[in-house]
Amino acid sequence: MSAVANATSRPRRNVVWGKIGSYVFLFVLAAIYLGPLLMLVNTSLKTTRTFNRNATAPAVEMNFGNFAEAWEKANFPQYLLNSALYATTATAIFVVTSVFVAFPIARGYVRYAGLLFTLYVIALFLPPALIPQFQLILRLGLYNNPIGYILLFIVNPIGMVILVNYMKTIPRELDEAAALDGCGYFRFVWSIVVPLIRPAIATVVVLHAIGIWNELILPTIYLTNKDYYPITRGLIVFQGVYGSNWPLLAAAVLMLTLPMVVLFLVLQRYIVSGLTAGAVKG
Amino acid sequence: MYHFGRGRARWVPYLLLLPGVLAYFIMAVGPSLATTVFSFTDASGLPNAPVNWVGLDNYEEFLFLGQAARDNLNAVGRTLVFCFFVTTIQFALGLVVAIILNQKLRGRNFFRTLYFMPVILGAVIQGLIWTLFLYPLGGPLAQILGTFGLRSEFLGGPPTEAFAWVIVVQIWANMGVTMIIFLAGLQTISEEYYEAARIDGANAWQVFTNVTWPLLTPSVNTNLLLNIIGSLQAWQLFLVLIGYRNGTQVLGYLIYATGFGQTSGSVTSSFRQGYAAAASIVMFVMVLVIGLTVQYFLRRREERLVG
């Protein structure tokens, strides 16, 4: 009798300890993830004087003036507008053109569909395109030009793979039925397939737009005119000028972090499904 | 079978496909392959400058000529070190976190969201947040060190230390992706396997090695390859956190610096794009060799598990 009781209570005690251990681990890790953010919020509310005296003391002074000052000094509205313009234009071009590439690949409606698809799949392994791409844009006379900059983002092989894989789940009978009803190819893809693959399109749009929004290297290379800077480049320039004024810089960073966090909370589903696409099946 | 007409109508899908495929070839595949050609020239980044064929000169200079070549090889070595630490730690941490968060725990959605959040912020914000967190004059970590009577310059310290901090931030920034991919894999493992193992009296470790780990193979493969290739090519955080500093450069940063000009101490490199293309090819070979080797072993492992 007692032997049975022992046998059942030992695993249970292990489970309890496992739970406690799990929580300890999660909270320690959470501190590493929250710590830098809390420091950012706290610093943004301090004055330079109190920051220099004690960088980590709680910001009891609640100096919200940093936000107004950073906003005023940094030309953020212009940068944000540029970033939004680049992200929306390039994403729209990419998605519209890609739908008409992905569908015939998924169906095998064009020759060499398999080969073409492989070219998208192996993109990760191709040599970096950085240098010839620059030479191309330079020779087209599109250096330091928003159009040239947007051209850099009109392709996305991973996005294409996601679209193709999702389209493969649409039953083929649909094509036949639509064609019998006299629906043309363009209209079929545009007004029947596109609405059906909306989840995949949302995922691709979100991933692609965030990639453009966060891009730092390409604007540094391609855009020299301050009026064309996206927000990432603008923030780095701001850091170069006000880098020693941490409360001001922290306010600027926080203003650009918060919308991303909110956006992330809203769009989380699509981001996660985009990143895990293909991971489960290999 | 194509249903939407014959004859001339058969060309419609080709016509509609053309813009997207042309864009892909002109903006991505073409430039990617042209990197090889450029690596044999003395192309510069200046408009209208003549481009001459120089054969293998760029490779010879990159790999064998004097101090610069030694610096380059050091950067290659550093890239491998970066890749090794980022991959192993991020992989292990992501796996542990995913397994813990796959249990029924209170607040697990909060933790998932929190750990994943940096991914969305991008290198600039990630880098600036950590520059502040590592503020050497009384920042949080400086104070913690101070209580032990220690001090550090963190990102401004000796190259090795600054380099190590970039590894930390890189893992902090991207662990969420690894975790999410593992979580997706864990959710495909049927509860029945765990129950069967428990009925057989397996302990937690045995359940992990005999059920979770083998059935997680697709996510393991994806994560390993993504982490390895990603960390071999990553360098944005170096730019934001420490800049182009001797003793910290990795190959990706070197390519950018030689191709697009970057001052480092007293040395100002010019726009040497042919040379940078040769460095790109070195990186490509590295990614290919390591990627294919890992893939080969992953395949063999998978066959062993299935067969």
Q: What is the pLDDT of residues B214-261, one digit of tens each?
A: 999 989 999 999 999 999 999 999 999 998 888 999 999 999 998 987
What value does the mean pLDDT of chain B take?
91
Per-residue pLDDT reduced to its tens digit, A49-74: 999 998 888 888 888 999 999 998 88
pLDDT band at A266 (very low <50, low <70, confident <90, very high): confident
According to DSSP, residue A17 is labeled: H
* Nearest CA distance, B169 vs chain A (angstrom): 10
How many CB atoms are closer than 10 A to CB B153? 13
Per-residue pLDDT reduced to its tens digit, B61-103: 999 988 889 999 999 999 999 999 999 999 999 999 999 999 8
Query: Chain A interface, mutation test: which of B2, B6, B11, B17, most A Cβ atoms within 10 Å?
Result: B17
Q: pLDDT at residue A264 above 50?
A: yes
pLDDT at A10: 58
Which of B19, B36, B236 minimises the CB distance to A127? B36
Summarize the confidence of residues B191-211 as an average pLDDT.
Answer: 91
> What is the CATH number assigned to the segment(s) B56-306?
1.10.3720.10
Chain A residue whose CA is closest to B93: A29
Q: pLDDT at residue B150 above 90?
A: no
Q: Which residue has the higher pLDDT, B270 or A15?
A: A15
Handedness of CA A94, A100, A104, A106 (dihedral sign): positive
Q: pLDDT at residue A254 above 80?
A: yes
According to DSSP, residue A225 is labeled: S
CB contact under 8 A, A40 and B129: yes
CB contact under 8 A, B9 and A185: yes
Residue type present at position A134: F
Tell me which chain B residues have a C-beta less than 8 angstroms from the C-beta of A35: 133, 140
pLDDT at B235: 94
pLDDT band at B307 (very low <50, low <70, confident <90, very high): low
Domain boundaries, chain B: 56-306
Contact (Cβ atoms closer than 8 angstroms) between residue B37 and residue A212: no
**How many angstroms separate the CA atoms of B228 and B291, rounded?**
7
Per-residue pLDDT reduced to its tens digit, B107-149: 989 999 999 999 999 999 999 999 999 999 888 999 999 889 8
Count of all residues that appear for chain A in the document: 282
Summarize the confidence of residues A76-91 as an average pLDDT.
Answer: 95
CB contact under 8 A, B105 and A19: yes
pLDDT at A282: 39
Token pair 């212009």: residue: A78
- A112's CB contacts (< 8 A; 6+ apart) are none
CB contact under 8 A, B143 and A232: no
List the 24-53 stretch of B: residues with Cβ below 8 A of A: 24, 26-38, 43, 45, 47
pLDDT band at B152 (very low <50, low <70, confident <90, very high): confident
Instruction: Give backbone dihedrals phi and psi of B272, rounded to 5 degrees, phi first.
Output: -100, 85
Q: Is A54 on the interface with B (CB under 8 A)?
A: yes
Query: Chain B interface, mutation test: which of A15, A83, A109, A131, most B Cβ atoms within 10 Å?
Result: A131
C-alpha distances (whole Å) from A120 to each of A123, A126, A200, B168, B180 are 5, 10, 17, 32, 23
Which of A30, A128, A143 minimises the CB distance to B280? A128
Token pair 């940063």: residue: B253
List the 260-299 stretch of B: residues with Cβ below 8 A of A: 260, 273, 276-277, 280-281, 283-284, 287-288, 291
**Nearest in space to A240 (alpha carbons), one of B243, B289, B198, B95:** B243
* Nearest CA distance, B153 vs chain A (angstrom): 15
3-state secondary structure string across B6-53: CHHHHHHHHHHHHHHHHHHHHHHHHHHHHHHHHCCECCECCCCCCCCE
Q: Percent of chain A scored above 90 by pLDDT?
A: 70
ipTM over 0.95: no
Q: How many CB pairs under 8 A join A and B?
A: 277
CB contact under 8 A, A263 and B20: no
Q: pLDDT at residue B265 above 50?
A: no
Summarize the confidence of residues A79-102 as an average pLDDT.
Answer: 96
**How many angstroms separate the CA atoms of B28 and A156, rounded?**
9
Chain A residue whose CA is closest to B274: A131
According to DSSP, residue B221 is labeled: H
Contact (Cβ atoms closer than 8 angstroms) between residue B175 and residue B94: yes
Per-residue pLDDT reduced to its tens digit, B267-283: 445 688 999 999 999 99
Q: pLDDT at residue A192 above 90?
A: yes
Q: Which residue has the higher pLDDT, A7 or B292?
A: B292
Per-residue pLDDT reduced to its tens digit, A156-181: 999 999 999 999 999 999 999 999 99
pLDDT at A279: 54
CB contact under 8 A, B47 and A143: yes
Judged by DSSP in three states, B262 sits in strand
pLDDT at A281: 47
Which of A29, A143, A268 minimises the CB distance to B113? A268
**How many angstroms separate the CA atoms of A15 and A20, rounded?**
9
List the 226-255 stretch of A: residues with Cβ below 8 A of B: 232, 235-236, 239, 246, 249-250, 253
**Nearest in space to B45 (alpha carbons), one of B307, B305, B274:** B274
**Nearest in space to B105 (alpha carbons), one of A30, A37, A6:** A30
List the 131-160 stretch of A: residues with Cβ below 8 A of B: 131-136, 138-139, 143, 151-152, 154-155, 157, 160
pLDDT at A1: 44
Element holding B264 (H helix, E strand)? strand B262-264
Q: Is B306 on the interface with A (CB under 8 A)?
A: no
C-alpha distances (whole Å) from B233 to each of A127, A266, B189, B230 are 11, 30, 32, 5
**How many angstroms separate the CA atoms of A198 and A270, rounded?**
11
What value does the mean pLDDT of chain A take?
89
Contact (Cβ atoms closer than 8 angstroms) between residue B39 and residue A119: no
C-alpha distances (whole Å) from B273 to each of A224, A235, B40, B232, B267 are 18, 27, 10, 20, 17
**Nearest in space to A43 (alpha carbons), one of B214, B186, B135, B303:** B135
**Nearest in space to B236 (alpha carbons), one of B223, B259, B222, B255:** B255
Contact (Cβ atoms closer than 8 angstroms) between residue B44 and residue B270: yes
Q: Domains (ranges, CATH) in chain A?
A: 13-65 (no CATH), 75-242 (1.10.3720.10)
- Distance of alpha carbon A95 from the chain centroid: 15
CB contact under 8 A, A271 and B30: no
How many CB atoms are closer than 10 A to CB A70? 24
